[in-house]
Structure 1
Amino acid sequence: MRQGWERDRAEIALDRAALAKLLAPVFPGAAVTRFERVSGGLVNTNFKVVPGAQAAPLLLRIYQRDAAQGLKEAALIRQLGPCVPVPELFHAAENNPVTGHAYSILSWVEGRRLDALALAGEDLRSAGRALGTALANVHAAKYERFGFLGADLKIVRPIDLDRDGLLAYLDHAFAGSHGAARLGPELMASLRKFIEREGEKISPWPGAPCLVHGDCNGSNLLFRRGANGAWELAAILDWEFAFSGTPGFDFAHLLRPPLGRHSDFGEAVASSYRDSGGALPPDWRSLARITDLFAWIDVASRPDAGTNVIEDAQKFIRAIIADRPTDDK
């Protein structure tokens, strides 16, 4: 699905000298022997960089949207490293001497993206079990209330995650944006009626408020084969959208295509999640899909959203309202 989404800003072009300058705080004087731009991101620019003939590759991330989000990601990697598979963090700064953006230097993690495994028809049950354990560990970090996190991982803007909160988010996100026009009056009316009728169901999700990844889609989940042939979670990437919410936000991403086509994957995630101490309501699939409206409202309201992005937002909002599955074929 996301493979067809347009970036909302151009990637940054850097040469060897510029990359070496950015690596200098950790690898002073190192010569960049190889580098390549990493595809897949929609906002930031990422480079795979080898800082010497015998050196291990690195991931250099330039945060083009918001410096605070980059620093938040760095803080979360430090916090989660002992209990969740994440890249190793070598350096993070709120600006850089080449482009001025916040950036970080991370270990390069080898693995296959989960969405690619799903599209290839792989058996994802072992991947689901590994992911369920990791998500239980992520969601074990609790907060006093829902809200967006700052660079220090404290809540800087509280939010309400219930029927009234979803309605308020709809009004706030679409005020002064093209969101309402993109959905059209008929879909907007149906969306508002649905939230008024069903929105309160997302409130009592057990185990909340807790840390959620916020962008737990298959492109941010790397897996590799273990010694026994099972898929092992190599790393969860891209933490800049993390916030204090309900587990439903992360589970919602796992119900989107292509992962949503693999029902045994979802059941494996849920079973392992419960076995690892996570709490799921009996109707978690339905509640997660309603919760996903927060994300699709955000997507539809983005000022630079491309045609494919807007079409997917329309399609998924219609499907959630109609309580029917959505495929991206």
Structure 2
Amino acid sequence: MHADEVLSVAEAMGQDVVAVSPLAGGLSHETSLISLADGQVVARVGGPDPEIEAAVMAAGRRRVPVPEVLWVGRPGRRPVMVVEYVEGTLLSHVLAEWAEALGELGVEVGRVVAEIGAVSFERPGFFVDESLDPRWERPWSRQLPEVAEACMASTSRLDARTRRAWVDLCVAHAPALRGIDEQARLVHADINPKNILVTRAGGTWRVDAVLDWEFAYSGCPYGDAANMVRFGDDYPAEFVAGRRSGFADGAPDAPEDWEYVGWVLDMFALSDLVTRPPGNAIADQAAALIRDRVTGGVTWPG
């Protein structure tokens, strides 16, 4: 963080800053842990629109644990969001190091992901301001082939044959989205183990916080369920199975093919991810998934 940004946080919190240390952050922002005279807060610097994200987080807090937003300001050329510090361990660390009760953990995570989708709006679309009145352009079933075509035209991470095959695959599966085109529920859109804090206490797992809401929109929550296990081959099988069970129980109105629909929705994200600059590890993983799917190397659910 720049000195003027730290000073702005101190003024907003009405306390002296004792220390500032970096935390792992997203691609579009810088995250720091700030120690104040009587506690700690987390500052997020950058990002597309923290005012909208703050409003989304307030909406999400109605159903799931979300850090409270303490202040949003624009002290310089970069916006700053300050949120409460939440104790907990990143789910990604737990999955890499823990070996017990991972099925139970998956159930709890799946339940919380389903609860995000319990927040509803008047229409689907992307949020354009803090009112969270979504802008609805055209159905997802029509957008998917267009997005895939545009993304494949702007990436060199995949060979020409694979790019064409991926667009064709998106065209073939896009009709599956017609049944959910008009759903208007809260979608986190970046729900993965790096954005969830958990704790094991009293013999049970608890989700302490869902982080990083900058990509949230109004749509169908089955995409979040697929996002959660996009790279599921890297996770313990019992966690993946528990996540599936927990989401299904938490979304009793979901159709039988909800998991398949989620996979189709995730084709938006995979298409976009491979357009990232060279050297991006997540984009390389997304490219590998696309290759597997166009060659039939994976089994689609449903």
TM-score in same-fold range (> 0.5): yes
Residue matched to 1:225 = 200
Residue matched to 1:125 = 103
2:113 is aligned with 1:138: no
Q: Secondary structure at the match of 2:57?
A: helix
Partner of residue 300 from structure 1, selected from 274, 285, 297: 274
2:70 is aligned with 1:87: no
Residue matched to 1:314 = 287
- Relative to the length of structure 1, the TM-score reads 0.81
Equivalent residues in 2 for 1:26-65, closer than 5 Å: 27-28=13-14, 30-52=15-37, 55-63=38-46, 65=47
Q: Secondary structure at the match of 2:259?
A: helix
Residue matched to 1:109 = 86
* Alpha-carbon distance in 2 for matches of 1:315, 1:301: 13
Report the CA distance between 1:18 and its aligned residue. Answer: 4.2
* Alpha-carbon distance in 2 for matches of 1:125, 1:249: 21
Change (3 A) 1:254 1:309: closer
Query: What is the number of equivalent residue pairs in this alignment?
Result: 297
Q: What CA deviation, in whole Å up to 9, does each residue of 1:51-107 have, x standing for no partner?
A: 11xx221001112x42x2x112100222222321011111123x22xx322221111
Report the CA distance between 1:259 and its aligned residue. Answer: 6.8
**What 5-or-longer segments of structure 2 have no aligned partner?**
none
Contact 2:17/2:34, CA 8 A, preserved across alignment: yes
Letter in 2 for 1:43: S
Change (3 A) 1:18 1:71: closer
Change (3 A) 1:208 1:320: farther
Letter in 1 for 2:268: F
Q: Secondary structure at the match of 2:39?
A: coil
2:167 is aligned with 1:192: yes
Q: Secondary structure at the match of 1:58?
A: strand
* Alpha-carbon distance in 2 for matches of 1:75, 1:243: 12
**What 5-or-longer segments of structure 1 have no aligned partner?**
1-12
Q: What CA deviation, in whole Å up to 9, does each residue of 1:131-173 have, x standing for no partner?
A: 23322321112234431112321113534211x3211112344
Change (3 A) 1:240 1:283: same
Identity %: 24
Residue matched to 1:72 = 52
Contact 1:149/1:243, CA 8 A, preserved across alignment: yes
Residue matched to 1:19 = 6
- Relative to the length of structure 2, the TM-score reads 0.87
Q: Hey, which bits of structure 1, 4+ residues long, moved more than 4 A?
A: none
Root-mean-square deviation (CA, aligned residues, Å) is 2.5
Contact 1:34/1:50, CA 8 A, preserved across alignment: yes
Partner of residue 211 from structure 2, selected from 237, 240, 247: 237
Q: Secondary structure at the match of 2:197?
A: strand
* Alpha-carbon distance in 2 for matches of 1:200, 1:260: 30
Q: Secondary structure at the match of 2:159?
A: helix
